[in-house]
Amino acid sequence: MTTYKGINGFAVQSVATDPSPLDEGQVWYNNATYAFKLATLTTSGTWASGGNMNTARNSMGGAGSQTAALAFSGNTSGGRSSASESYNGTSWTNTPNINTARSSASGFGIQTAALLVTGNFNAGDNSSTNATESWNGSAWTTLPATVNNARNGSFGVGTQTAGIIFGGYTPPVGNWSQTESYNGSSWTVVNSLNTARRGGAGAGIQTSALFFGGDDSLTATESWNGTSWTTVNSMNTSRSSGGGAGIQTAALAFGGSPLTGATELWSGSTWTANPTGLSTPRYSMAGAGTQASALSAGGYNTDYTAATEEWTGPGSPVTRTITTS
């Protein structure tokens, strides 16, 4: 009779504690629970609770990764916020405030080198700013470089010295299709979106970006090649004011309005709905990270929330008990 040792050249290891880290296909016997176990890969992603923010708010700018994130500005029950916080993968710490309190701003970069652009500084939609602020890991500085057209509700991606913003709302014009690119010292107007909108989410870098969802075009997705926008396959769930993370060919969309926790993964050509969404459905949150490892912070549910959730994408090793069924 063929044995596991005969096939693989070694016997099944007997241990009192499940091994870590896991390798796909790894088999062992847990002599404490009297069970054979196997390491396999997940086929869907999951959200898990992280540490709450210090200030409950929505419509923030965000930057960084799941374990080194930054959230700044936003809207609270008391009005526009100047709060800024950093996340270490476990808890949030207050950092020095931004200089101009605002909501519905664009944010991008990393935890120690981020950019805050545009936003809404008064109640309602009839105020927008073109101000840009830079974060160096210890303080925010208002830069002389301002965007060419003030707006709110746009989305931005890239680094502190090579970024891009797109869409938004410009009073009194309305929804905006304009795209502007930043080279570290000045903003330049480049080719516009095919569909003007605000409140969309995005992913990517300055020369390779994705924009999805948004007011009046709730499932539309467009891809940026550094020169122009191309309309590609739409999302499965209509939404505006959702969260985004990842890159142009591997993006993540989550949450949004109408209130949803729905999460979708972009393969570079199509969107696939994940079986489970955010534990707390919400919209206007800050997002950060990659398709495999992302963060959703703050937002609005029935009220402003400080909740943080951490995303682990499909393909992660998990332990399964081997049965006879």
User: Tell me: the pLDDT tens digits for 10-51?
Assistant: 578 898 988 888 777 889 888 989 888 888 777 899 999 999
Handedness of CA 280, 303, 308, 288 (dihedral sign): positive
- pLDDT 10s digits, 167-202: 999 887 888 899 999 999 999 999 999 999 999 999
Tokens in use for 175? 């929804």
Q: 29 CB contacts (<8 Å, ≥6 apart)? A: 12, 13, 14, 15, 35, 36, 37
Q: What residue type is assigned to position 95 of the chain?
A: T
Which of 322, 151, 157, 164 has its CA nearest to residue 228? Answer: 164
**Does 3 have pLDDT greater than 60?**
no
- pLDDT tens profile 130-170: 999 999 999 999 999 999 999 999 999 999 999 999 999 98
Structure tokens at 46: 């999951």
- Residue 219 per-residue DSSP state: T
Instruction: Domains for the chain: give ranges and CATH numbers.
Output: 4-41 (no CATH), 46-312 (2.120.10.80)
CA–CA distance, 109 with 156 (Å, rounded to integer): 9
Query: First vs last Cα of the chain: how many Å apart?
Result: 21
Residue 7 has pLDDT above 80, yes or no: no
Q: State the average pLDDT over residues 235-253.
A: 97
Residue that has been written with the tokens 């995005």 in this structure: 202
Q: Which of 237, 243, 232, 246 is nearest to 272 (CA)?
A: 237
Coil, strand or helix: which one is 6?
helix
In the sheet with 46-49, reading across from the earlier edge strand, the strands are 46-49, 308-312, 293-297, 286-289
Instruction: Give the three-class secondary structure for 205.
Output: strand
Percent of the chain at pLDDT > 70 equals: 95
Q: Is the whole-model pTM more than 0.75?
A: yes
Q: CA–CA separation, 250 vs 187, rounded Å? A: 27
State residue 13's pLDDT score: 86
How many H-runs (helices) and E-runs (strands) does the chain carry? 1, 32
